[in-house]
Amino acid sequence: MANSWVNSAERIGSDLHLEMSGPGGRRTALIRALREAVRDGRLAPGTRLPPYRSLAADLGVARNTVADAYAELVAEGWLTARQGSGTRVAERAEPLRPAARVPKRAPPRVRGPRHNLLQGTPDVSAFPRAAWLASYRRALQQAPNEVFGPGDPAGRAELREALGEYLARARGVRTEPGRIVICSGFAHALRLLFGGGVLRGPLAVEAYGLGFHREILADAGVRTVPLPLDEHGAQVDRLGRERAVLLTPAHQFPTGGPLHPARRAAVIDWARARNGLVLEDDYDGEFRYDRRPVGAVQGLDPERVIHIGSVSKSLSPAVRLGWMVLPARYVEDVLAVKGEREAWVSVLDQLSLADFIVSGSYDRHVRRMRQRYRSRRDRLVAALAEHAPQVEVTGVAAGLHAVLRLPPGTEASAVKAAAWQGIALDGLAAFRHPDADMAVSDGLVVGYATPSEHAYGPAVEALCGALPPPSTGDARP
């Protein structure tokens, strides 16, 4: 016999699966199924069962079949029946032992660092909950019915229009909504572009960057060629036969310098001459503290640059929303890779971000966080000047992290000393491309945005105490 679902509104208000199978007739099968439901705990003591008529209708059996099954189970002590109270699972002195289950393993207790100064995360305690909730409510209330059906692989038009206006105004991007494709972040963009075969290697990359991104490219069969870095950014004059180059021009990650204006122009010239492509990772372009943010390279030639951004630094990495601003010739190819049933970003989140931008809440949040992060960077620089004057903060005043230049040969010991003090941070060497010719310098990458506001002061104090002491040659009067 087929399995059946009991879903009568007159019973306990939730579905119950009864397996009507095995030898014997329907009465025997129903008795067996109800016993099993009580035995394995799906029908708890005291649970009221559906009336005969309701259960019979749900199971497609005669009413007398249910009545006889109930009567048999009452006689056996599994059920009780009282006038006005209906038929219930019998109360027992000892609860029935549920069916054997795989015991749940308690998650291991991981004792984290006392001070988290890892790069890559904004201050999550500063997430604009009230403003985001207001945008979410408005988006949900105003959403047309078709929002809850199959989506558009390019992303909601409302968000692409809002992003087109915002990116033009804040980042100098030249585009239109039809050339914006929504994704879940930079890593997702790489998978779509290279994993889907839209672009191929070899790909030039900066000699220092996220190893996670290099792994994604390697998994897609893309060979990456490191470009040396100096105080003016990537040495784009070293570009050769690569088909594309991946850059962080507004704020090189992690060393912290912007790409020099002459090199911005030079990389566009290279792309035009070689029929190449520039991938622009604009991961924290809004956060510049000593001057107005540098505009996007994409504005120099929209047909030679793919501009990629997300809200992982400006809002939260938990809001899985990013975008690609594509040259016209790549739009259809990217959408084909996404497919008609690709696991897209939540449409409601897209509509919420669109409202968040249009309402001005996004600009207000970015301005507020820009002030907060600038203050934190200033506090870090001041603390180092007082307690560790031998350590220099390199790069421009921007972003969510800073690089502390250390004396040669001291990086590994400094990372270890920080760990002993309960400080989580990375050494600069952790971001070096394995094929890079030479190291930039010894240094620590300090994520000053990561701690909450109350935890930042103690973290900086602990960091200063963990830094290597000045050598005789470093002593300052």
Find tokens 């007159």 and name the residue: 10
Q: Are residues 321 and 179 in the same domain?
A: yes
Rounded Cα–Cα distance for residues 159 and 156 (Å): 6
Domain stops at, among 331, 359, 387: 359
* CATH code for position 21: 1.10.10.10
Q: Are residues 372 and 338 in the same domain?
A: no
**Domains in the chain, number:** 3
Is residue 43 one of the residues assigned to a domain?
yes
Is the model's pLDDT at 134 over the cut of 90? yes
The partner residues of 104 in beta bridges, in order of sequence, read none
Domain stops at, among 311, 331, 359: 359
Contacts of 313 (CB under 8 A, 6+ apart): 122, 283, 284, 287, 399, 400
H helices of 196-289, in order, are 211-219, 261-274
Q: Are residues 320 and 375 in the same domain?
A: no
Is residue 185 one of the residues assigned to a domain?
yes
Q: Are residues 242 and 150 in the same domain?
A: yes
Give the closest residue to 275 by CA, choosing from 222, 316, 329. Answer: 329
H helices of 316-471, in order, are 331-338, 347-358, 361-387, 411-420, 453-466
Q: Are residues 262 and 198 in the same domain?
A: yes
Rounded Cα–Cα distance for residues 420 and 411 (Å): 14
Is residue 318 one of the residues assigned to a domain?
yes
Q: What is the pLDDT of residues 27-42, one digit of tens each?
A: 888 888 888 888 878 8
Q: What is the pLDDT of residues 224-267, one digit of tens each?
A: 999 999 999 999 999 988 999 999 999 999 999 999 999 999 99
Is residue 108 one of the residues assigned to a domain?
no
Is residue 94 one of the residues assigned to a domain?
no
* CATH code for position 304: 3.40.640.10
Q: Are residues 320 and 405 in the same domain?
A: no
Per-residue pLDDT averaged across 324-346, rounded? 87
Q: Return the SS3 of 360.
A: coil
Residue 169 CB neighbour total at 10 angstroms: 10
Is residue 63 one of the residues assigned to a domain?
yes
Share of residues in the chain with pLDDT > 70 (%): 90
Residue 146 CB neighbour total at 10 angstroms: 9
Print the domain residue range for 403.
364-474
Q: Are residues 393 and 373 in the same domain?
A: yes
Domain stops at, among 71, 89, 107: 89
What's the pLDDT band for 51 if we cut at 50, 70, 90?
confident
Is residue 18 one of the residues assigned to a domain?
yes
Q: Are residues 351 and 445 in the same domain?
A: no
Is the model's pLDDT at 164 over the cut of 50? yes
Q: Are residues 148 and 296 in the same domain?
A: yes
Is residue 277 one of the residues assigned to a domain?
yes
Please give the C-alpha separations between residue 149 and each of 68, 152, 242, 350, in angstroms, as whole numbers.
47, 10, 42, 14
Is the model's pLDDT at 380 over the cut of 90? yes
Residue 355 CB neighbour total at 10 angstroms: 24
Give the closest residue to 173 by CA, choosing from 375, 353, 327. Answer: 327
Per-residue pLDDT averaged across 118-147, rounded? 94
Check whether the bond before 477 is cis (ω within 30° of 0).
no
HEC string of 366-398? HHHHHHHHHHHHHHHHHHHHHHCCCCEEECCCE
Q: Are residues 350 and 401 in the same domain?
A: no
Q: Are residues 252 and 305 in the same domain?
A: yes
Q: Which helix (H) or strand (E) element contains residue 185?
A: none
Q: Are residues 354 and 369 in the same domain?
A: no
* CATH code for position 408: 3.90.1150.10
Rounded Cα–Cα distance for residues 36 and 342 (Å): 41
